[in-house]
Amino acid sequence: MAVASDRPYGSFRFRVAVARRELDCVAVALPRLTVRADEHDPGHLVLRRGYTGSLDLYEWWQQERGPKPGRGRRVTVDLLGDDGRPVTTWQFDGCRPVALEYSPLDAAESAIVFETITLTVTTTEMR
């Protein structure tokens, strides 16, 4: 499905879904793809969004810490073209949280609180 272009795509138009549910992310750090994961750390998938009070990522992280962790979830990242249609899709399966963090709270600043989740990935497909 990847759509070739005469010029590079911008990194600011994308869409993220976790288990088919859209997540309003403001930043995505895609994992480094290596030939053999046992030779090098393949990296992690990192998703960041503005914190809105939703506990969905916290509950997922909490579930993975419990005695019966899940099988992992599918995370899909679509890079969007100027017309809003996907030009490339990364599909990550078996995603499980390994870290969840929040930006600092600072009364001297007027900044957005960000929520960042770091995920391990079992398989990656790009199309």
Question: What is the distance between the alpha carbons of residues 117 and 36, in angstroms, rounded to a whole number?
Answer: 24
| pTM higher than 0.95 | no
Mean pLDDT, residues 81-96 taken together:
96
Residue 69 near residue 63 (C-beta atoms within 8 A): yes
Q: Give mean pLDDT, residues 86-113.
A: 97
Are the C-beta atoms of 29 and 45 separated by less than 8 Å? yes
Could you read off the pLDDT of 14-42 as tens digits, one per residue?
999 999 999 999 999 999 888 766 655 66
Residues 95 and 120 sit within 8 Å (Cβ to Cβ): yes
Q: What pLDDT does residue 112 have? A: 97
CA angle 89, 92, 96 (to 5 degrees): 150
**Domain extent listing, the chain:** 1-33+62-127
pLDDT score of 41: 61
**pLDDT bucket at 1, cuts 50 / 70 / 90:** confident
